[in-house]
């Protein structure tokens, strides 16, 4: 018998919509539709649970359940109060509300969250004489209010904490990359799990760890909890089955993952994080200077997240431009036959890598707009081609 399906929206970062859609199709989603920083699809409860457990490039998985127009805050309050909230929670449950607004009428998302909360708790007080309390950190039910112009969409947030919190990273370096972005970059790079993957400026090791989890098909959410586990309709048997299936789908892979950094502390932190993620057996860690390194295999993929010259300065170099020039020279001289991807928020410095990018993707690292650029490093003359600037 077919299980009932419903609309689900997975949120992501700008630039990762297509990799997220591909992940969703592989998980069995139907009616997959790309939005900005999100993907809409249909699925049943099993897919909802699997989405949270297995998606690498999603930040949140939402279940929209109500949509209406509101022209002002009184209308918003009334429409929210008209919903039967006993479908989703009881006065004993705790509640949190996240709001995002893209609207000229509703300009303060915090105020929208407050009005929505008032409408819900007022309904409970009227009906039962008691009201659910607010817990912003670990609520039983987390709601999402999204307003675009006059259209209000209410969703249940099935994830709880954002999905980049895989809970393997306790130790942090100075500018760690978020796990969703790191996984997205590995998927965008097209690394197949068979070739060598090198992160020569690994910091806290996020790119290598996410690559190892991807290649070993380890569910990124296997060590954490999710919002839906506290819902009144939570199906613990289905959840156990979903987790068992994901565990059984784990595999070994043949590619090598090499992570290194100039800073010995970063290497130590990366190793600790990889152990916690259960992937250290797939990875090699070493301390070393990228500018003194060379390829140990004939082909492979490098992913570099160098300092941008804003949050971090390159070691032993005050000027970011010669540093990026040297990255290009190092790649040309010592990594012929490899593919290299560089992500940076410093567009000016990127121009000085001195190689022609074969792909460019706009992404964000936190609030910083970045480019992820691919370079194909050929033997001999072709690799010497200068970028026209
Ligand atoms: C932006 S951070 C990388 C963050 C990393 N992607 C993560 O997820 O934590 C840049 C890293 O490059 C390292 N680094 C800078 N110059 C280096 C060099 N010449 N060789 C190796 N590592 C270097 C720094 O120590 C720093 O850890």
Per-residue pLDDT tens for 32-89?
A: 999 999 999 999 999 999 999 999 999 999 999 999 999 999 999 999 999 999 999 9
Q: How far is the CA of 220 from the centre of ligand 1 (A)?
A: 23
Residues ≥6 apart with Cβ < 8 Å to 80: 115, 116, 119, 120, 154
Domain, as residue range, for 142: 6-157
Domain match, 294 and 349 both: yes
pLDDT at 75: 97
Q: How far is the CA of 381 from the centre of ligand 1 (A)?
A: 29
Residues ≥6 apart with Cβ < 8 Å to 34: 17, 18, 21
Domain match, 199 and 52 both: no
Domain match, 94 and 211 both: no
* Any domain includes 248: no
pLDDT at 176: 84
The pTM assigned to this predicted structure is 0.93
> What CATH number has the domain bearing residue 307?
3.40.50.150
Q: How far is the CA of 127 from the centre of ligand 1 (A)?
A: 57
Q: How far is the CA of 201 from the centre of ligand 1 (A)?
A: 4
Structure tokens at 175: 């500018």
Give percent helix, percent strand, percent coil of the chain, each to the nearest 5.
35, 25, 40
Q: Is 126 helix (H, G, I), strand (E, B) or coil?
A: helix
* Any domain includes 297: yes
* Any domain includes 16: yes
Domain match, 13 and 126 both: yes
Residues ≥6 apart with Cβ < 8 Å to 240: none
pLDDT at 171: 62
> What CATH number has the domain bearing residue 142?
3.30.2130.30
Domain match, 337 and 303 both: yes
Structure tokens at 230: 């506290």
Asked if 152 and 103 touch (Cβ cutoff 8 Å), the reply is: no
Domain match, 131 and 269 both: no
* Any domain includes 170: no
Domain match, 316 and 364 both: yes
Task: Determine which residue's CA is closest to atom 1 belonging to ligand 1.
Answer: 307
Domain match, 193 and 319 both: yes
Helix (H) or strand (E) holding 186: helix 179-189
* Any domain includes 268: yes
Domain match, 276 and 128 both: no
Residues ≥6 apart with Cβ < 8 Å to 233: none
Asked if 130 and 124 touch (Cβ cutoff 8 Å), the reply is: yes
Q: Does ligand 1 come within 6 angstroms of the Cβ of 273?
A: no
Domain match, 133 and 39 both: yes
Q: Does ligand 1 come within 6 angstroms of the Cβ of 175?
A: yes
* Residue 288 phi, psi dihedral angles, 5° rounding: 175, 165
* Any domain includes 1: no
Domain match, 75 and 193 both: no
| Beta bridge partner(s), residue 133 | 94
Count structural domains, the chain.
Answer: 2
Q: Does ligand 1 come within 6 angstroms of the Cβ of 346?
A: no
Q: Is 228 helix (H, G, I), strand (E, B) or coil?
A: helix
Residues of the chain below pLDDT 50 = 315-317, 382-389
* Any domain includes 226: no
Domain match, 83 and 193 both: no
* Any domain includes 354: yes
Q: How far is the CA of 279 from the centre of ligand 1 (A)?
A: 20
Most distant CA pair in the chain: distance in Å? 79
């Amino acid at each position: 018998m077919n299980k009932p399906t419903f609309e689900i929206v997975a949120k992501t970062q700008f630039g990762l919509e297509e990799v997220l859609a591909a992940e969703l199709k592989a998980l069995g989603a139907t009616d997959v539709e790309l939005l900005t920083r999100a993907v809409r699809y249909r699925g049943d409860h099993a897919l909802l649970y699997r989405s949270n457990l297995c998606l690498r490039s999603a930040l949140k998985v939402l279940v929209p359940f109500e949509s209406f127009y509101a022209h002002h805050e009184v209308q918003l309050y009334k429409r929210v109060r008209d919903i039967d909230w006993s479908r989703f929670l009881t006065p004993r449950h705790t509640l949190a509300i996240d709001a995002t607004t893209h609207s000229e009428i509703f300009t303060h998302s915090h105020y929208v969250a407050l009005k929505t909360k008032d409408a819900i708790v007022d309904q409970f007080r009227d009906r039962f004489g008691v009201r659910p309390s607010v817990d912003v950190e670990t609520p039983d039910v987390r709601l999402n209010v999204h307003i675009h112009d006059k259209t209000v969409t209410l969703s249940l947030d099935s994830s709880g904490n954002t999905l980049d919190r895989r809970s393997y990273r306790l130790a942090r370096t100075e500018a760690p990359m978020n796990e969703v972005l790191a996984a997205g970059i590995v998927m965008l790079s097209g690394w197949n799990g068979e070739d060598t993957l090198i992160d020569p400026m690994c910091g806290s090791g996020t790119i290598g760890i996410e690559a190892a989890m991807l290649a070993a098909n380890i569910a990124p959410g296997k060590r954490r909890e999710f919002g839906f586990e506290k819902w009144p309709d939570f199906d613990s048997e289905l959840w156990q089955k979903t987790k068992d299936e994901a565990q059984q789908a784990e595999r070994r892979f043949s590619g090598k993952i090499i992570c290194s950094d100039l800073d010995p502390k970063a290497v130590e932190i990366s190793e600790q994080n990889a152990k916690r993620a259960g992937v250290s057996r797939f990875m090699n860690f070493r301390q070393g200077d990228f500018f003194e390194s060379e390829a140990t295999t004939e082909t492979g993929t490098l992913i570099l997240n160098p300092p941008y010259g804003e949050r971090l300065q390159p070691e032993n170099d005050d000027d970011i431009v010669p540093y990026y020039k040297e990255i290009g020279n190092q790649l040309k001289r010592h990594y012929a036959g490899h593919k290299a991807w560089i992500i940076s928020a410093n567009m000016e410095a990127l121009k000085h890598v001195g190689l022609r990018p074969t792909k460019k993707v706009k992404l964000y690292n936190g609030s910083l707009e970045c480019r992820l650029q691919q370079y194909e490093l050929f033997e001999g003359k072709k690799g010497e081609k200068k970028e026209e600037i």
